[in-house]
Structure 1
Amino acid sequence: MSDDSRPSPTGVRTAVVIPAAGRGVRLGPGAPKALRTLNGTPMLIHAVRAMAASRAVSLVIVVAPSDGAAEVKSLLDAHALPERTDILVVPGGDTRQESVRLGLDALPPEYGIVLVHDAARPLVPVDTVDAVIEAVLEGAPAVVPALPLADTVKEVEPAGASGPEPVLATPDRSRLRAVQTPQGFDRATLIRAHETVTDNVTDDASMVEQLGLQVVAVPGHEEAFKVTRPLDLVLAEAVLARRRLTDGF
């Protein structure tokens, strides 16, 4: 929306791709998940603002539903967003992986760092965004924010929709992390991953792992949770209410 794209102090520009083409069926019928509102504002707007809060981010590419790009662009135009950050809307594909690739295809050549962020994580603090970018600047080809697990984890033999499931093992919880977004990448690495990896894709970082490259984790944040179920909406509203009281957010 502004052409004042600012490089980071190192001269390497950072862009964010937000795939927002999913329907979010676990939240029930209605608007696509990214367009559900929190405190009267669509989650997508919160997510874009969270990314644009980092002064290192100068471009956000929103990947919209293939038949809803115009609607998403109008939505973004109707809300106040930082003028220092350019916003681009492109139509997405049938899968998240395809949508991210389409976002990468629209990336101008001067951007060397790419973050991929879930629109359904609308409340990521700017310190988390900056920590991911800094780790990529320091040489990591792929970076994920992650949190230690609070619960004991069991590996089970899946038994379908219902019924008891035999426990196979109890992994060492101290070695496990719950991964969040934004995930950060060296641009060339992420493009190569999308060009070559098609199987066993759980997130973009797993694609880089399949290239045999090192992925590193930086501390995540409890407010970077994913809004997937109706209860998550309640929690997100509570976080926003607390921010209004403490930060004037």
Structure 2
Amino acid sequence: MSEKNAQHPARAGVIVVAAGSGQRLGHGIPKARVLCAGRTLLEHALESVIASGVAGAVVVVLPAGDPVLSAVVAEAALRSVYPTSITAVAGGATRAASVRAGLAALPPTVGVVLVHDAARAITPPAVFQRVAALVSAGASAVIPVLPVVDTIKVVEDGIVTATPDRALLRAVQTPQGFDADALRAAHAGDAAGDATITDDAMLMEASGVPVRVVEGDALAFKVTTPFDLVVAEAVLAAGVANDAAGPAGSVDLPAPARTGTTPTPTSRSSRVPQ
């Protein structure tokens, strides 16, 4: 972690990217507004963030002018004791632009930044804790991953041209964690304009920053298609998501950079207001 952040420690700032259109999901509304087991995907995602106990500030990046999602964030901010702040900003035309909007809204004292997709709505809190802990220990970039179980083929013009060694491949999830200064520098660098870069970890790679990995979780899957939504609803109905949750606040992070009483992290059973 940078010298500046070591001198001004803070709990993690969490950027929840919720500005996606949801076209592949087919509901005709922004994906984060889609209901899953009676609650929006954004509400589920915020519940996991809060239950993890790692966040000192949460910035939710929303589609511009969306009153429903703005109300979800406002209600969460009004009712939630921990983390210390939950705010919303409008997203940009691309995911990278949305992340930059979130970065700009985080307090300057934040030393660790987690970037999370709201579409990975039932990610267990323990994944947030693992990622935040490794960045807090000095890693500049950390991603949760799972081994790839399928054989992967490289195909060009309908012809298989290569078969990568599956043992070397990993499926990448979120939240992705970063040293705040390193992430800001990457977003200000030349690689930030590369349209082929699909996430912040790839941007860090392109900027020459080593990216470390921690264990992901099968529940951190991305709700992209109608089938994914059915799976998420089934998981929630079965109570598997709650059973897989790690204990809130168990990660060893630097103390929040503020005065006064530190709020007590909520438990997994605490719910973001509906």
What is the root-mean-square deviation in Å for CA atoms of aligned residues? 1.9
Q: Partner residue of 1:184?
A: 177
Displacement after TM superposition at 1:224 (Å): 0.3
| 1:232 corresponds to 2:225 | no
Structure 2 length as normaliser, TM-score? 0.81
Write out aligned runs for 1:29-44 (5 A).
29-44=27-42
Q: Partner residue of 2:51?
A: 53
Q: Partner residue of 1:139?
A: 138
The 3 A distance-change label for structure 1 pair 111 and 231 is same
| 1:73 corresponds to 2:70 | yes
Displacement after TM superposition at 1:73 (Å): 2.4
34-43 vs 55-64, which moves further: 55-64
Displacement after TM superposition at 1:29 (Å): 3.8
| 1:215 corresponds to 2:199 | no
Write out aligned runs for 1:83-98 (5 A).
83-85=81-83, 86-98=85-97
SS of alignment partner, residue 174 of structure 2: coil
Identify which of structures 1 and 2 has the higher relative contact order when contacts are C-alpha pairs closer than 8 Å and 6+ apart: 2
The one-letter amino acid of 2:145's match is A
Identity %: 46
Unmatched 5+ residue regions in structure 1?
1-9, 160-164
Residue 60 of structure 2 contacts residue 73 of structure 2 at CA under 8 Å; is this kept in 1?
no
The 2-side partners of 1:122 and 1:91 are apart by 20
The 3 A distance-change label for structure 1 pair 170 and 65 is same
Write out aligned runs for 1:190-201 (5 A).
190-196=183-189, 197=191, 198-199=193-194, 200-201=196-197
Unmatched 5+ residue regions in structure 2?
1-7, 244-267, 270-274
Residue 113 of structure 2 contacts residue 179 of structure 2 at CA under 8 Å; is this kept in 1?
yes
Structure 1 length as normaliser, TM-score? 0.88
Q: Partner residue of 1:174?
A: 167
The one-letter amino acid of 2:198's match is T
Residue 62 of structure 1 contacts residue 88 of structure 1 at CA under 8 Å; is this kept in 2?
yes
SS of alignment partner, residue 53 of structure 1: helix
| 1:15 corresponds to 2:13 | yes
Q: Partner residue of 1:206?
A: 202
Displacement after TM superposition at 1:244 (Å): 7.0
The 2-side partners of 1:83 and 1:105 are apart by 23
| 1:117 corresponds to 2:113 | no
| 1:27 corresponds to 2:20 | no
